Structure 1
Amino acid sequence: MRELRDIDGLHPRDLTQRQRLLVLFVVGLASVVLFYTVVYNWGMQALEDRPQSIFRSFQTVVETMTTTGYGADSPWETPVMNVLMVSIQLTGVIIGFVTLRVLVIPLFERTPLDLSDRLTTKNDHVVIAEYQHDTELLLDELEELDIDYVLIESDEEEAKRLSDDGYQAIKGDPEERADLDRATIERASLLITDAGDETASIVLTALEANEDLRVISFTESTRRKAALAEVGVSRSIAPHALIGQRLAEKATTPVTVPDRADGDEVDVREILVRRNSPLHGVKVRDSPIVNHPNLTLVAGWFDGELHLPPSPDDELTPNTVLVVAGPRSEIDEITDEIAGARSRRIRTPSKLIVAGFGEGGTAAVDALPTDVSVTTVDESKDRGPDIVGDVTEPETLRDAGIDDASALVVTVGNDSTALMTIAIARSLSSEIEILARVTDSEKTRAAFRAGADYVLSIQQVSARLVAAEVHGERVMSPTSQIRLIRADAAPFTGDSLGDTRRNPERGWTVIGVSRGGTIRTDERTTIEADDEVIVAGSDDAIQEFERTVTSS
């Protein structure tokens, strides 16, 4: 049987649904116009007694349907012809709407999307080539820091949505030089990639356009860092491993004042703001710890970011950890007064459980001190955990020794499993400290409700890491960077402790003075020449203190 083909040799079955609809529309329109032309031509001759050519009738029908006029044929004398003309007009209006819907609107909808005209002028900016985490969270961080950027998004609908929401986003393929040029890659200072296996291709293409470009790349595994460095990546970030390391450091790093023969002691303790704490929503400046005359707020962890010291405007939320220094009895007293807040002496736990022995769990174990006993749990025996089992089963956690463990680090593969693990662990032990990793930032609150003490979101940490890299600030500094030293009080003679604590920009603070065998922390205490001051701060700040204060 001979197949029916059009003049281009295309079989009708090869037509798309839209093409078939277009053919049907054209055939239908032609049929309607032809029908009205024949009827009108007959009516003009039989009813109006004004015979005319078929072409004149065709012209009048088209003019009527398109509402462009009626020519010399109007008016009409017979009712039938007037009804016919009204019918032609209404048909023309209906066909106009159909034409708009079938032809005009789809034509514009299918026009290649180019959002470049919405971009502001860029220079020394950041180009983001794909981003697999929460894109808006990252872009909000950059905009908050007033950092210029262009996001190249391969998904057309996502690119349009972001652009419509006011973000600097274009649709494109970052592996294509033309799309990188649309993002003015030659004038950019930094390229951020989060594109998986396409990362190497994107980086090499971008460096051809701008060899001075600094490149930050997100990667699922630390094993790719060497290869990425070979293609020109300046810094590789593996969020899962980084957060696993951070959780381990948070759970284990001790901070203590050096022992002294005279028995002087200042206790340094973390106070964790839990989900049911009355401190929730309180500004740092209004917290009872800051207003206590004998206590010093040394630092604070806010969603995994170390503020040393905290800003008075920082808000305490159920993910805040405050590092407080002062007499042990004073800390115990104020902790007992704060219902819902749980304090933890900053010491090395005797036993730690790591639930999930993937990239994050492995990094957590590697970050632990050698004197910490750790038990790893994973359902895959190929990863070599100590215990093979489902961490959402109570028996598995009991076998791991949850009754005797001081902390549980949760680095399982998905958020649902993490939340269930947290809930099971909390039901088994009310005392164990639970530190967890989630992917979605919106799951952070759910993790707290399930019983977690400390939660880091991959999406949020990734966004802040990028913002910090661009802004030149360090994020997620480990607790081990907090140092306490004793120093000669001579540079502070005559000052009160309160005066020495009113310059937070220095990064260090005087938390007390040692005098006559006792530690004085009251901010009204006047520092004398024979005293020793106890100073707390970051590694860098303490080094700066030793260079600029004690040596002067």
Structure 2
Amino acid sequence: MRELRDIEGLHPRDLTQRQRLLLLFVAGLSIIVLFYTIVYNWGMQTLENRPQSVFRSFQTVVETMTTTGYGADSPWTTPAMNTLMVTIQLTGVLIGFITLRVLVIPLFERTPLNLDDRLTTKKDHVVIAEYQRDTGILLEELEKLDTDYALIESDEDEAKRLSDDGYQAINGDPEERADLDRATIERASLLITDAGDRTASIVLTALEANEDLRVVSFIESTRHEPALTEIGVDRSVAPHALIGQRLAEKSMTPTVTGERSAEIDIREILVRRDSPLHGVPVRDSPIVNHPNLTLVAGWFDGELRLPPSPDEKLTPNTVLVVAGPENELDEMMNEVAGVRSRRLETPSQTIVAGLGEGGTAATEAFPDDISVTTIDQSAARAPDIVGDVTEPETLRKAGIGDASALIVTVDTDSTALLTVAVARSLSSEIEILVRVTEGEKTKAAFRAGADYVLSIQQVSARLVASAVHGERVMDPISQIRLVWADETPFAGESLAAVRRDTEREWAPVGVLRGGTIRTDERTLIKADDEVLVAGTDAAIQAFERAVDSS
């Protein structure tokens, strides 16, 4: 049980109310026993004229308080010592009743439990006012980041289950000021709401108690964002739309400027679950340590890192963008098992299956020069093709044989998995990117043939973690671009030194010298060299502005 865990060494603010009570009980009992031991030892020497060791006195006091007997010390001849023994006996009985009520009954009987007793002291914490997704994933993410929080859950059984599992959860109605006060909303720094139509009421009530709160709200549709901003929500996030946008951006290829890039190949490398790279930090991966290859970027849980942090661990569903000579990339792929490589080429056509909130956001994220065909079963959503996306004929009609990517954003996970399986049976080359609701469906999507999977539950939890750290919750990811630049910003440095400068949001891929592109990290950048630089649109624009102003 949670009440019996080792509390030694914890800070008082980390203890629940019940743990603090237990600690106080133990301390008080120790003081009483010590006091009686000293008085009894003095009485035996002074009043009874029978001096003995303090350890013998301690044993007699404990025997008396627990009513197990008195040993060889009884009887006592003086009234004062008999009065002391009676007092010790009564104290022992009283402590026995207190122990029974405070510790034994709550531990071993099904008595009504106040979940508030399990909350630790809160300050500058996160208050979560309802969460309609997988609460366990969210709370595990917060505890992994050592973030203090309090969850208000309106379902009593769910709140009890979460609390029994060790999470900081209470049962209550977040629209009620009293229940927000139980979560110490007045000392919180961030409010997370995921309560549907009740969101506005919860936010307004919380801001009455703490006007300095930052507020992040999960919403089903982006059309509610302006209204929530008006009442004080700092950021509104529609997970379905955000994931649709990220899937679209993930499917787009880098843009290489200039005709001298034929010697440089760019690949996406997807880490599979059975890969030896699973769990390996970026800095220790053979891809990063290869002298002729450049790790340009990586997608981790749907978020683009450019460049990835050396401490970031490679997990299944991680996608790395690697640039270098084609033969070197092929050799690397032969050496590393459990990964899948995809050469980045100009997309011929993209298919979006499912035209709800996510599918619409994905479609809008594509530039005008990419052909997009939409499929949906509802004619009211005005898709290009009305039909069942799980039917092979519907996908053939959409041109799956010529398409470079299929984005699956249908309403249910079962439909998504069947769509992936059907699409993979029709094309072994197409890149399949899919959105699922439940985190555990990610593995099934990979087995069905998906190349890239984002879970609503996992992405939502990551968004909360980003909000806790004050990062942008919704930040559109630009296409990766590669441009040629002169040597001025890099003169005298090696490729290795420039690549490992984590302060820069762009990375040099190689050096053009004498008609040959050199990618060896030991290459020193010299006068008259040209450098191939990779980065997002925004990073490349910033780089070009910096070069022009220097």
Both proteins in one fold, TM over 0.5:
yes
* Displacement after TM superposition at 1:382 (Å): 1.9
Call closer, same or farther: CA 1:194–1:382 in 2, change over 3 Å. Answer: same
8 Å Cα contact 1:122-1:187 kept in structure 2: yes
- For 2:292, the equivalent position in structure 1 comes to 294
Q: Partner amino acid for 1:159? A: A
Q: What does 1:407-422 correspond to in 2, within 5 Å?
A: 407-422=405-420
* Displacement after TM superposition at 1:215 (Å): 1.3
Deviations 1:478-505 (A, max 9, x none): 5525443444434544432223333334
Mapped partners of 2:313, 2:326: distance in 1: 25
Q: Partner amino acid for 1:200? A: A
Q: What does 1:372-411 correspond to in 2, within 5 Å?
A: 372-411=370-409
Residue 197 of structure 1 aligns to a residue in which SS? helix
Residue 480 of structure 1 aligns to a residue in which SS? coil
421-430 or 471-480, larger mean C-alpha shift: 471-480
- For 1:99, the equivalent position in structure 2 comes to none
Call closer, same or farther: CA 1:191–1:401 in 2, change over 3 Å. Answer: same
* Displacement after TM superposition at 1:257 (Å): 3.2
2:137 aligned with 1:137: yes
* Displacement after TM superposition at 1:226 (Å): 1.9
- For 2:257, the equivalent position in structure 1 comes to 258
* Displacement after TM superposition at 1:474 (Å): 4.3
Deviations 1:459-488 (A, max 9, x none): 000010111012123468655254434444
- For 1:41, the equivalent position in structure 2 comes to none
* Displacement after TM superposition at 1:518 (Å): 2.1
8 Å Cα contact 2:253-2:479 kept in structure 1: no
Mapped partners of 1:421, 1:207: distance in 2: 44
Mapped partners of 1:322, 1:334: distance in 2: 13
8 Å Cα contact 1:274-1:453 kept in structure 2: no
Q: Partner amino acid for 1:356? A: G
Deviations 1:301-358 (A, max 9, x none): 1221222222344343331211112234433443455565433333441111111111
- For 1:510, the equivalent position in structure 2 comes to 508
Residue 225 of structure 1 aligns to a residue in which SS? helix
Q: What does 1:180-191 correspond to in 2, within 5 Å?
A: 180-191=180-191
Deviations 1:96-143 (A, max 9, x none): xxxxxxxxx99x999775322322222222111000111121112222
Give the TM-score, by structure 2 length: 0.74
Mapped partners of 1:365, 1:540: distance in 2: 21
Mapped partners of 2:245, 2:492: distance in 1: 44
* Displacement after TM superposition at 1:219 (Å): 0.9
Deviations 1:496-540 (A, max 9, x none): 222333333443333222222222110121222332333334456
Mapped partners of 1:548, 1:188: distance in 2: 41
- For 2:301, the equivalent position in structure 1 comes to 303
Deviations 1:421-451 (A, max 9, x none): 1111111111111100000011101110111
Deviations 1:237-270 (A, max 9, x none): 111111111111111x23133205x677533332
Call closer, same or farther: CA 1:487–1:429 in 2, change over 3 Å. Answer: closer
Call closer, same or farther: CA 1:272–1:434 in 2, change over 3 Å. Answer: same
Give the TM-score, by structure 1 length: 0.74
Q: What does 1:49-60 correspond to in 2, within 5 Å?
A: none
8 Å Cα contact 1:142-1:148 kept in structure 2: yes
Call closer, same or farther: CA 1:263–1:169 in 2, change over 3 Å. Answer: closer
For structure 1, the residue ranges without an aligned partner over 5 or more in a row are: 1-104
Q: Partner amino acid for 1:165? A: D
Call closer, same or farther: CA 1:115–1:540 in 2, change over 3 Å. Answer: farther
Mapped partners of 2:408, 2:192: distance in 1: 28
* Displacement after TM superposition at 1:272 (Å): 2.4
- For 2:215, the equivalent position in structure 1 comes to 215
2:352 aligned with 1:334: no
Question: Which one of the candidate residues 491, 495, 498 is aligned to 2:496?
Answer: 498
* Displacement after TM superposition at 1:370 (Å): 1.3
8 Å Cα contact 1:176-1:205 kept in structure 2: yes
Call closer, same or farther: CA 1:494–1:369 in 2, change over 3 Å. Answer: closer
8 Å Cα contact 2:235-2:473 kept in structure 1: no
8 Å Cα contact 2:253-2:480 kept in structure 1: no
Call closer, same or farther: CA 1:146–1:344 in 2, change over 3 Å. Answer: same
Mapped partners of 1:519, 1:322: distance in 2: 22
Residue 373 of structure 2 aligns to a residue in which SS? strand
Question: Which one of the candidate residues 323, 326, 329 is aligned to 1:325?
Answer: 323
- For 1:82, the equivalent position in structure 2 comes to none
For structure 2, the residue ranges without an aligned partner over 5 or more in a row are: 1-104
8 Å Cα contact 1:118-1:168 kept in structure 2: yes
- For 2:57, the equivalent position in structure 1 comes to none
Call closer, same or farther: CA 1:372–1:210 in 2, change over 3 Å. Answer: same
Mapped partners of 2:123, 2:504: distance in 1: 33
Q: Partner amino acid for 1:154? A: S
Figure out how many residues of one structure are paired with residues of the other and give that number: 447
Call closer, same or farther: CA 1:122–1:544 in 2, change over 3 Å. Answer: farther
Residue 441 of structure 1 aligns to a residue in which SS? coil
- For 1:155, the equivalent position in structure 2 comes to 155
* Displacement after TM superposition at 1:396 (Å): 2.0
8 Å Cα contact 2:253-2:347 kept in structure 1: no
Q: Partner amino acid for 1:269? A: R
Q: CA RMSD in A?
A: 2.9
Identity %: 77
- For 2:44, the equivalent position in structure 1 comes to none
Residue 478 of structure 2 aligns to a residue in which SS? helix
Q: What does 1:1-80 correspond to in 2, within 5 Å?
A: none
* Displacement after TM superposition at 1:212 (Å): 2.2
- For 1:456, the equivalent position in structure 2 comes to 454
Mapped partners of 1:544, 1:380: distance in 2: 43
Residue 256 of structure 2 aligns to a residue in which SS? coil
2:235 aligned with 1:235: yes
Q: What does 1:469-484 correspond to in 2, within 5 Å?
A: 469-474=467-472, 480=478, 482-484=480-482
Call closer, same or farther: CA 1:122–1:275 in 2, change over 3 Å. Answer: closer
Residue 202 of structure 1 aligns to a residue in which SS? helix
* Displacement after TM superposition at 1:286 (Å): 4.0
405-414 or 381-390, larger mean C-alpha shift: 381-390
